Amino acid sequence: MPTPQRRFKDAMYEQLARLGKATSAPKRLELLDLLCQGPRTVEALADQAALSVANASRHLQVLRAARLVEAEKKGLYVEYRLADDEVARFFVALRGLAEARLAEVTQVTRAFFEARGELEGVAGDELLRRVKAGDVTVLDVRPVEEYRAGHLPGALSIPVGELKARLDELPRRRDVVAYCRGPYCVMAVEAVELLRAQGYRAHRLEQGVADWRARGWRVATARAR
């Protein structure tokens, strides 16, 4: 018969395993990544994660059962959000562990970015220094609603799809550092490619808002310009 100590340990590890089970599907991790940017309806999440609404809803219910996300009814739609900033820190830590332990992550990432001219990333600490010095334009190329939900302080919002038409809003005499949703997001890659083709000195920031929050750095919320 199990001892009280054994029953206690079994019960605790069973609860910890709930998080592992909830995050065991690639699409659920992608949904968490999207929700790190800000609240989303099921329909918006389904569209961005290339899922049917029914499948997205099922994945979100699993995440909700593990207390990683919360849902709120807003009119005809259900909006999901992260349960709190600890979930963002958990996601960033999981991503970092995978990068440190799984060579495949590095291989896939390197192959993708090297095929696009080895677009180097700029470290967060270096970006902060340059922002404070006033010698760089920080460009948020995510959708406007994500910028409103949270962005790097001082960042200018120009979604990547609008960038070509709004180049006159960017000063040419300063470097431009573009960021999006984190190291696996390609919107900043597309933005840097476009900017360099137009003669700008542009760089890609690997970190996104989730990384900023995980480090305890301030994230601003405001209306997009």
Q: How far apart are CA 23 and CA 7, in angstroms?
A: 25
- Give the DSSP H or E segment for 77: strand 77-82
Is 36 among the catalytic positions?
Answer: no
Whether the CB-CB separation of 136 and 205 falls below 8 Å is answered with no
Cβ–Cβ under 8 Å, residues 150 and 38:
yes
Tokens of 35: 């929700």
Report the C-alpha gap between 21 and 12 in whole angstroms: 15
Residue 95: name the closest of 177, 36, 41, 149 by CA.
Answer: 36
CA angle 127, 130, 132 (to 5 degrees): 110
State the sign of the Cα–Cα–Cα–Cα dihedral 48, 203, 195, 107: negative
Contact 75, 42 (CB under 8 A): no
Q: Which of 69, 152, 177, 180 is catalytic?
A: 180
Q: Both tokens of residue 167?
A: 């180049």
Q: Which residues are catalytic?
A: 180
